[in-house]
Chain A
Amino acid sequence: MSKSHLELTGVEMAFDTPKGSFIALDNVNLKINKGEFVSLIGHSGCGKSTVLNIVAGLLQATKGGCVLNGHEVNSPGPERAVVFQNHALMPWLTVHENVELAVQQVFRKTMSKQERRDWITHNLELVNMAHAANKRPGEISGGMAQRVGIARALAMKPSVLLMDEPFGALDALTRAHLQDSLMEIQQELNNTVIMITHDVDEAVLLSDRIIMMTNGPAATVGEDLHIDLPRPRNRVTLADDPTYVHYRQEVLKFLYEKQRKLETIKPTRASTVEPEQEEAQAARA
Chain B
Amino acid sequence: MTTLTTSAPENSPTSGVKALIARLSVPNPASVGKQILLPMIGILVFLGFWHLAAPQVNTSLGAFPGPVQVWEQGGQLWQEHVNQRERADKFVTMQEVRNQRLLEKDPSAEVKIRPYPGAPTFLDQVGTSLVTVLAGFVLATVIAVPLGIVFGLNRYFQAAVNPLIQVFKPVSPLAWLPLVTMVVSATYVSDDPMFEKSFLTSMITVTLCSLWPTLINTSVGVAAVNPDLLNVSRVLRLSFWTHVRKVVLPSSVPMIFTGLRVSLGIAWMVLIAAEMLAQSPGLGKFVWDEFQNGSSQSLSRIMVAVLAIGLIGFMLDRIMLLIQKKVAWNE
Contacts and interface: CB of A to CB of B under 8 A. Distances in A.
B236 interface: yes
A105 B238 CA distance: 7
Interface stretch (B78-86, B94-102, B224-232, B303-311): B224-232
A contact face: mostly helix, strand, loop, or mixed: loop
Interface stretch (A31-39, A82-90, A245-253, A262-270): A82-90
B329 A77 contact: no
Q: Please classify how large the interface on chain A is, using the bins under 10, 10 to 19, 20 to 34, 35 or more.
A: 20 to 34
B228 A84 contact: yes
Contacts of A169: none
10 contacts: A58-B235, A75-B237, A76-B235, A84-B228, A84-B232, A88-B231, A88-B232, A90-B251, A92-B250, A101-B246
A183 interface: no
Contacts of A58: 231, 234-235
A9 to B, nearest CB: 23
A213 interface: no
Interface of A: 56-58, 75-78, 80-82, 84, 86, 88, 90-93, 101-102, 105-106, 136, 156, 285
B81 to A, nearest CB: 45
A187 to B, nearest CB: 25
Given A78-B236, A86-B228, A91 B330 contact: yes
Nearest to B238: A105
B247 interface: yes
A56 B232 CA distance: 11
Contacts, number: 55
B331 to A, nearest CB: 11
Nearest to B328: A92
B contact face: mostly helix, strand, loop, or mixed: helix
Contacts of B253: 92
A105 B242 CA distance: 10
A78 B235 contact: yes
A208 B100 CA distance: 96
Most buried by A among B226, B228, B232: B232
A136 B328 CA distance: 13
Most buried by A among B228, B234, B235: B235
Contact of A88 (B229, B242, B329): B229
A76 B231 contact: yes
Contacts of B234: 57-58, 75-76
